[in-house]
Structure 1
Amino acid sequence: MDAAARPLDEIDLAIVHALQVDARAPWTRVAAVVGIDAATAVRHWNSLREEGLAWLTAWPTPQRWSSTTDLGVVLLDARLGADALAEVIRRPWVLSVDETSAGYLALVAASAGLAQLGERVRALAALGAEVLRMDVAAEIVAEDSTWRLSVLSAAQQRMLREGAPRSGGAARPIRGDAVSDLAAALDEDPRMPAATLAQRMGVSEATARRALERATGAGLLRFGCDLAMPAAGFRRGAVLWGRGADPEGAAARAARLPEAHRAGILVGPSPLFVCVRARSLTAVPAIERSWGADVEIVDRWAVLRGIKRNGHALDEAGRSIARVAPSW
């Protein structure tokens, strides 16, 4: 691959935004919203996917994080060697890794309690990854699949949503293991037809459709589209740490910031954190002001590059070069 990713054109960006709104929308509907024919939409998407410039996601929502997962926000020493870093990336429960001005920031997940989370952080240290800091998330209010481009108009986004199938009422409860089975089956292709999904899960097509509707309707599973951020012009990022008298309110505002792709409340001296992406670091002061005057910013880290995001290993241009299926 070339050192730099090719910039995405207007059609590419519109297709990615459409898939962020509804990753399972038929190509005919995506094409109609974007203003092209379906064959052109598929051709653009296949090029994006093959070049690692965009990829589909099936990811837990903040609701599911809060109910089923313990997450550690871990800072590793910047002197971490290449071999040790490669081992960190290969761990399926290390969901994301960013190289920042303070060191390598990793998100570590566990489903069997805080003791397991501690074991996993110690396992990273055993690889030669010196742990400088670890904060446990009390609540995740935004994660990477919630971030959206600003390409399609509000009317175009409504066209996508209005064409989506509806469950016909409040979603019935769904077991956590059923959600995990769905996510595992859809990991290969979140646009997988219901018939294929049923085969993978060993159930009827009707059962697979109902499970999918319940998981998404209950806010436990979200489909979306991620992309190589530098190719879309987002070449800079930052991690902001803060505190305030109303952490819940400040975290909710952080989640609504258009630049925020990850935010939460931690158990630590700086309980608020938000990861933002922008076209220039000169945008950071305005982002901080938008967060609110009641939030005291106690630290700022620049993101030097993304290394792994939601189970995708990234190259220096932000392209997906390998998939490490998340498991925790």
Structure 2
Amino acid sequence: MDSVTLDELDRRLIHALQLDGRMPLSRIAAVIGAQERTVARRYSRLRSRFVLRVVGILDSRRIGMLEWIVRVRHAPETATALAAQLAQRDDTSWIAPLAGGTELTCMVRTLPPGEESQRSFFEQLTRTQGVREVNAACLLRPVAGVGGWAGRMNALSEAEQVLLRAPEPAEPLEAEHPTLVWSAADNRLVRALSKDARADLGQLAAATGWSESTVRRRIAQLRESGVLAFEVEVDPALFGYGIEALMWLEVAPAGLHAVTRALSRHPQVAFAALTTGATAVFAIVECLDADSFGDYVTNELAQLSGITRIETALTRSRTKRAGPLLIPAIESRPGRNRPVER
């Protein structure tokens, strides 16, 4: 694949799609001041070259499921095969082999404790050849990066954003409120949207068995309730950000509110969440280079009262982002690994 450079129109298109992933290209073109066919060509070019994809993502907590941030330490020779095996699962996302070649991280969706599927996944993973240690922290609440990373959302003016921004989702469901009623057809809908959030209503109706009008209403309902959101998958390196770092922050309980509030305002933070485990906060940070990452840690993070320890790691690559793979993953060589089963 030839290298791709994003120009101003590409960046404006990406920003618009992050505001509303299913916004018609005709509407985007009218707001950003370009011809519709030009915008359509740009989108098609970026999509066909695997530079950009809009995917549907599920807030699993709102349908009674859990999300986990998982760290897997493994033998160096199993790195590629293990990442590929995990990437082919429907319940994994954001798979990142780390620099050094002996660890990867990913996000996993499971049913609550006590359910067979959760026990099955983690038991399979720990028994996979080459896996040396598995640490799983439950994601309690996202605190930054919800609705898109600020680093790729600065191409449109505020007035343009108002015209393109999707309606705000409802407030998060409180613990005493029942979770949303979920069906097998909802699973099929979300699976189709996770591959291509811009699929037309006819395609989604065929996938779910619903009518197009039912599909339209259900998507609106899921978005309004905050269960369904759209994410633009694009490599931060195309915006000039050459360093992606994962951070685990130990924070004193009294400082959690101030620290998470500050992280939500830092443009370097692509995602952050409260979690269980030895560290209370997990974050993904995008920086221009190693110097700017060092400046961020020693200047901005160091100013936050309450952080008692910082652990950092650089990602080597992204095997998988929010949506499922669209191209075959690299398979393990015969006899090298026993795969993690679906």
Alignment deviations for residues 143-183 of structure 1 (CA, whole Å, 9 cap, x no partner): 6863241211211111112xx5899xxx9x84233643431
User: In angstroms, what is the RMSD of aligned CA positions?
Assistant: 3.1
CA 1:108–1:80 in 2, change beyond 3 Å: closer, same or farther? farther
Give the secondary structure class of the aligned counterpart of 1:270: coil
The code of the aligned residue for 2:164 comes to L
User: Which amino acid in 2 is paired with 1:146?
Assistant: G
For the residue of structure 1 that corresponds to 2:312, the secondary structure is strand
Write out per-residue CA displacement over residues 26-78 of structure 1, whole angstroms, 9 at most, x where no aligned residue: 1111112222100000000111011110001100137538x422424223226
Q: Which residue of 1 aligns with 2:148?
A: 146
Whole-Å Cα distance in 1 between the matches of residues 201 and 91 of structure 2? 28
From 85, 89, 94, the counterpart of 1:87: 85
Q: Which residue of 1 aligns with 2:201?
A: 194
Q: 2:195·2:324 contact (CA, 8 Å) conserved in 1? A: no
Amino acid at match of 1:96: W
- Residue ranges of structure 2 left out of the alignment (5+ in a row): 174-178, 331-341
Give a deviation string over 1:170-218, Cα, whole Å, max 9, x none: x9x8423364343123234312333443343222333222211110000
Which of 211, 214, 221 is the aligned partner of 1:207? 214
- Verify: 1:24 aligned to 2:33, yes or no: no
1:58 to 8, 33, 56: 56
TM-score, normalised by the number of residues in structure 1: 0.82
Compared CA separation, residues 114 and 235, structure 1 to 2 (3 A): farther
Question: 1:84, 1:128 within 8 Å by CA — same for their partners in 2?
Answer: no
1:300–1:268: structure 2 CA closer, same or farther, 3 Å change rule?
A: same
CA distance in 2: counterparts of 1:72 and 1:129, whole angstroms? 20
Aligned length: 311
Change (3 A) 1:134 1:145: farther
> Which amino acid in structure 2 is aligned with residue 41 of structure 1?
V
Q: Does 1:41 align with 2:25?
A: no
Does structure 2 retain, via aligned residues, the 8 Å contact 1:145–1:226? no
Flag the 1:113–1:241 CA change in 2: closer, same or farther, 3 A. Answer: same
Identical aligned residues as a percent: 22
Task: Structure 1: state its 5+ residue gaps.
Answer: 314-319
Equivalents in 2 of 1:128, 1:214: separation in Å? 43
Deviation at 1:253, TM superposition (A): 3.6
Tell me the residue number matched to 1:293: 305
Relative to 1, partners in 2 of residues 1:286 and 1:64: Cα closer, same or farther, differing over 3 Å?
farther
Shift of 1:133: 4.1
Change (3 A) 1:185 1:300: closer
Structure 2 counterpart of 1:234: 241
Judged with a 3 Å threshold, the aligned counterparts in structure 2 of structure 1 residues 165 and 87 are, in CA distance, closer, same or farther, namely: closer
CA 1:252/1:61 → structure 2, altered by over 3 Å: closer, same or farther?
A: farther
Asked if the contact 2:57/2:323 (under 8 Å) is kept, the reply is no
Q: Deviations over 1:242-299 (max 9, x none)?
A: 1222335533443443222232222222121101112212222444444523223421
Structure 2 counterpart of 1:193, one-letter code: D
TM-score, normalised relative to structure 2: 0.79
Which residue identity lines up with residue 93 of structure 2 in the other structure?
L
Residues 280 and 321 (structure 1), Cα distance of their counterparts in 2 relative to 1, 3 Å cut: farther
**Helix, strand or coil for the counterpart of 2:21?**
coil
3-state SS in 2 of match to 1:191: coil
**Is 1:125 matched with 2:133?**
no
1:267 aligns with 2:276: yes
Q: Which amino acid aligns with 2:241?
A: F
Partners of 2:124 and 2:86 in 1: CA distance: 9
Contact 2:88-2:329 within 8 A present in 1 as well = no
Q: Hey, what's the Cα distance between the residues in 1 that align with 2:29 and 2:224?
A: 25
The answer to whether the 8 Å contact 2:61/2:67 transfers is no
CA distance in 2, matches of 1:307, 1:78: 17
Matched, 1:157 2:161: yes
